[in-house]
Structure 1
């Protein structure tokens, strides 16, 4: 009997030992997975603003969403481990530190930002849980784990602070003094005296710097009755655009470190970025401010290749906006934060090195491999984040403002050269500069896979609809940008129209204005898109001269881009998105009903479209109207080069008409998937105070507020 009991005890011990080994193996595997996710999020998070690949966005979302669950499960396994291993509490602490230190992926969407209070509670819970685990090992490894605990608290608090800074309620408080300052700045002043060449009179705030002996002093005075508008105090300490342009240092001179004006324009982008933030907080600027900004924009456009400069400034503005919402870089404006992070790096690396040495001495292969992987992951992420931080747009603005404020820096050649080198490095481009494309005549026959896109998967995947298939994107050409700014400068009379201005300029208003006065903007876009596709087939690019080929490229690229917005980004198009989606669905149904399936060649589809014109059943449909307009352009305009100029001018006008929007959240949303060109035009018309013609009767209202 004693032998049987002994054998059962030995078997239980072996089973317990095997269970413990299996648990430690699972912990090692989960640590490896977490390290891989860490590297992916830490390194690639900042690239979201220039990558429009939907697969990448889905993988990033999956990694961002699953990381907390993986870490929580791993922490639970560590807590239930019976063996007293030094690596367990250290790994537990590093897991939570890792979760809180992914600077380039602070939030995935605007909805995450508004949950910043929940995130702070969640961070506090993780901190308490990890602290309790450390306390159980404090007798053995107290000093090491206390250091990790301090690091943990600092990193978690920084991420929570970044989310709070980007929340709507906090933004309203932080930017109210900018709104008050702009109203006070233009009140009782003649803004027509502002000179856009020297920037004299453009006292737009770049950065507020309080005195060294008052580091926590507010940079503004309290408002007085009856308006209670706040005003900036100690203006000699506030860096403005005017001061940047009038700086005497060689760093910002054309003959010195800024021959192309890019460093000055960086500060201009940062200043104008604050005006875009006012749109998100509901504040508005006085009319005088819009007039002065419009004069500045017109001056920039009048320069040689001024259109490139204008869009470059806007690109950097939106890069600042992306960082504000989705990264922690706005929390690191001070140089001492960079030094703090650099000093923190050795501490984060020394502890795993100590653990690695301990594992090697014990010849523990599993612990050695996992510790090596953990240490390499930390090094890769921390060094990458440190490099991105010191070369970020936020850091560069800080360097330039300190240079403008400090006369010693202006006289010191080494300081100037160092700042010049730092400001010339761009690790991440502002955006991908691509136009996504869609063609109804090429994609109407597409049907999504039912095994992936169905009611059961609707909660997990964005559902595709019939006809919803992109074609290859195209690079944003200089001809497209020139066409848009040319349309803005030539046709702007205060309000934007649905292409009527371009038709008047080309003496085609009487013949084609009917196609601009349709029921909705979606109708206009889809009808002209079909007509442009017909013209593309009937008068191909090979038959045109070099000048008219540019118009061909502008018309076809913008036609397919606006059609893409209708299909994939209806919130960026005037009208309610549900209404836009329904109209597109009806257009796909009409095309399928009349043009046949996917096996029908394009030539046959075009022939079928020509026959629709005489069919009363389809005459007033989107497909029928598009066919009638297309043949009217092909047969009614003798000069085919002029036909493409009409189309290019029309689509440039439509891009301007679509851009104004009150749905700021939609533009912020698409920044995370590479950004949209219409958002850049939205910024341009917002600065100029340009709106749509109110007689159009169609306003873009945020559906979330309905």
Structure 2
């Protein structure tokens, strides 16, 4: 008896551990896949996410294989003795089936679906393994229910005392129907989007349209003063036009745009109080997103037709004094790009009725999860789940009489129980809560999505009846003003790294960030940084400078030449030298003195460029392996030099000179020596500290604009968009639209990929 209890107790303990573990794994999947998409780029997070998805099916299969109906446990303690026990586990089996269904509901919303062009190389169909898991778990649940059927009837039961009601059967079967419906919906949406001219095949259409627009319309003859209206870039309605095949994409059979094709100039010219400039800018960002997709499809700037939009961006938006409007336009454009490449929301807009179907399925899932939670709370109201055991067993002892005959003896009073039903109730309630949160976010993503707003604006522009209906105007106005920060795809923040750390922090969070090779900190992009960078872009456009004209070649204050670019081995080397100098100058400022705008620009961009060298070297024009090794070597040497020396951040000249002399004397790396020398020159300028900060601010703004213009690594910019955005990627997109991006990389990449496939 003791052996039997020990054996079954271990089985129940393992089963409960798997139930709780899988509920936690689903929480990880829901948190990372639905609410933590900005952090999924990190290798450790990807490992946890993939591990949670991989372990799901083995855990479910193991749990189901442990449960049998009727629950029969056979134990073989010795070769000559068998212990056979009949057990009852009605509530346990019922809750396990609910658990399996809720697990699938939570995990079904975390997949990414992309309907991309073959040139983009980013088309992602719904994973077949997800459908296989749903079918397999549905089969397992059916077998668990079917095993309780009476041999000659249709009444489902698991024990002599309890039969399954119709409500029980609906509770058990409904989640699997919802899962299959959601997965089939996603397969259909992807199929329609991948064959749509407005989604999967859109880059080829945009290239053909822009080519014809370049030579066939009156817009090319407009003067600069008439550029208050954007060119007729396509916003929506591509599926309504007739197209012809051509070597470089699709060619529109006619330029008649009255058959459903809506262009941005039509939206822009509509004089309506409902459509403020923010709504029109959102549609413009959507049109620019379509052109940016052509870049990711390896078309060159000329093929993608960037020149057609560059005049409007250059002469209207860049001349606008509202910096937030200019950057907000590009931010929305990259947000559309993020949604398209790293979620499954856009493919559901391939048909107008698909979003409504998706919301209906989500509402049904929310209703089911809430009903399950209410059902369990009502069932256990007034007493604790600790009062109920998971399994009741009646041991049956078997003694051998001969080689082929056994004598069975049973003691009906020897009833033992195992486990507590609380271990079933808590995971089910947790999964039900996660299901509600995941599906609620799904519905909110449709209501607050920019895709929905653009679709409503286009419908409003097309239908005169909508413009005349007060109710429709009110509803559209509410949607256009609705915003959810949780759904923001673009983080208005910049990472910061520093080489000279006088007093490194020892708290657990800092140590964890170092182990995971994360940046030192992340902060909101200051307004002064945005204004300074846009001023450089405007100045270069007015002077008609290309990307080379923006490259900082020297650091000079009046006639005092402090440093030239030729002294560095490359862009990364120059960044680190000037970063060390900026850090040294920053340490001399009094803590009571508020930093000026020039200092804010210089220090933030300095630490941001150090972050690019350390963590994102592929966004720089230098070799990324060399950049990363350079940063590690300089960082290690700086830590060695500063170790054991108590240098305080002070405005005193003695502390500043002590730091400079220490770096000059003990540094092995030339970057630290050059940086210390440059920092000393900046601090000793007779014209004052503010002049030095102004020179550094000008240098860093030109440096970041130069990096954005010269690095056209499409894949790395896509990775930056996936993790929430980079300032250099934002500038890259802006410079591409004004015609200041070096196109050599894209041309080489297009040549590598070859000509587009035949359509």
TM-score strictly above 0.5: yes
Contact 1:479 1:554 in 2 (8 A): yes
State the shift of 1:446 in Å.
9.0
Using the alignment, how far apart are the partners of 1:161 and 1:541 within structure 2?
61
The separation in 2 between residues aligned to 1:431 and 1:96, in whole angstroms, is: 29
**Alpha-carbon offset, residue 587 of structure 1:** 2.3
Aligned residue for 1:535?
585
SS in 2 for 1:222: strand
Go from structure 1 to structure 2 and tell me whether the alpha carbon gap of 1:392 and 1:598 turns closer, same or farther (over 3 Å shift).
farther
2:110 is the alignment partner of 1:102 = yes
Equivalence for 2:684: 635
Cα contact 1:79–1:133 (8 A) shared by 2: no
Superposition deviation, residue 593 in structure 1: 5.7
SS at match of 2:478: helix
Match of 1:496 in 2: 547
1:391: Cα distance to partner?
0.9
Q: What does residue 83 of structure 2 align with?
A: none
Matched, 1:206 2:235: yes
Deviations 1:560-582 (A, max 9, x none): 11112112221222211111012
Match of 1:647 in 2: 696
Q: Which residue in the other structure is 2:53 paired with?
A: 67
Could you tell me how far apart the structure 2 residues matched to 1:644 and 1:330 are? 45
1:669 pairs with 2:719: yes
Structure 1 residue 86: Cα displacement: 4.3
CA distance in 2, matches of 1:517, 1:158: 60
Q: Does 1:154 align with 2:181?
A: yes
Q: 1:432 aligns with which of 464, 467, 491?
A: 491
Partner of 1:327: 343
- Do 2:314 and 2:738's aligned partners in 1 also have CA atoms closer than 8 Å? no
* Distance change (3 Å), C-alpha of 1:15 and 1:184: same
> After the TM superposition, which residues 115-514 of structure 1 pair with which residues of structure 2 at under 5 Å, given as runs?
120-136=127-143, 137=145, 140=156, 148-157=175-184, 173-189=201-217, 191-193=220-222, 200=229, 202-208=231-237, 210=239, 219-224=241-246, 229-231=250-252, 235-236=257-258, 237-252=260-275, 258=276, 261-286=277-302, 289-301=305-317, 303=319, 305-333=321-349, 336-345=353-362, 347-348=364-365, 353=371, 357=375, 366=422, 368-428=425-485, 429-442=488-501, 470-492=519-541, 493-497=544-548, 507=558, 511-512=561-562, 514=564
1:97–1:156: 8 Å Cα contact kept in structure 2? no
Quote how far apart the aligned CAs of 1:114 are.
Answer: 7.4
Q: Whose strand fraction is larger, Structure 1's or Structure 2's?
A: 2
Matched residue of 1:251: which SS? Answer: coil
SS at match of 2:270: coil
Matched-pair contact (CA < 8 Å) for 1:205–1:240: yes
Does structure 2 retain, via aligned residues, the 8 Å contact 1:440–1:588?
A: yes
In the TM superposition, residue 369 of structure 1 has moved relative to its aligned partner by 4.5
| Aligned equivalents of 1:146, 1:196: Cα separation in 2 | 66
Is contact 1:575–1:699 with CA below 8 Å preserved after alignment?
no
Segment of structure 1 superposing worse, 200-209 or 559-568: 200-209
User: How far, CA to CA, are the matches of 1:613 and 1:90 in structure 2?
Assistant: 65
Name the counterpart of 1:572.
619
Change in CA separation of 1:127 and 1:531 when aligned onto 2, cut-off 3 Å:
same
Q: In structure 2, what is the Cα distance between the partners aligned to 1:586 and 1:390?
A: 49
Residues 331 and 490, structure 2, Cα contact 8 Å, conserved in 1: yes
CA radius of gyration, larger in: 2
Q: How far has the Cα of 1:409 moved from its partner?
A: 0.8
Residues 341-393 of structure 1: CA deviation (Å, up to 9, x unaligned): 34324543565637975996698654555444433332222122212221111
Q: CA deviation at 1:271?
A: 1.3
Instruction: Tell me which protein shows more helix as a share of its residues.
Output: 1
TM-score for the superposition, normalised by structure 2: 0.73
Tell me the CA shift for residue 176 of structure 1: 1.5
Cα shift at 1:682: 1.4
Q: C-alpha separation between the residues in 1 aligned to 2:634 and 2:372?
A: 66
CA change 1:439–1:32 in 2 (3 A) is closer
Kindly state the Cα deviation for residue 670 of structure 1 after the two structures are TM-superposed: 3.0
> Could you tell me whether the CA contact under 8 Å between 2:500 and 2:583 is conserved in 1?
yes
Q: What secondary structure does 2:500 align onto? A: helix
CA distances 1:53-82 after superposition (whole Å, capped 9, x unpaired): x8xx95676245313413431233124410
CA contact (8 A) 1:75 1:92 kept: no
Q: Does 1:78 align with 2:64?
A: yes
Give, in angstroms, the shift of residue 232 of structure 1: 6.8
Alignment partner of 1:511: what SS? strand
CA drift at 1:27: 5.5
Q: 2:564 aligns to what SS in structure 1?
A: helix
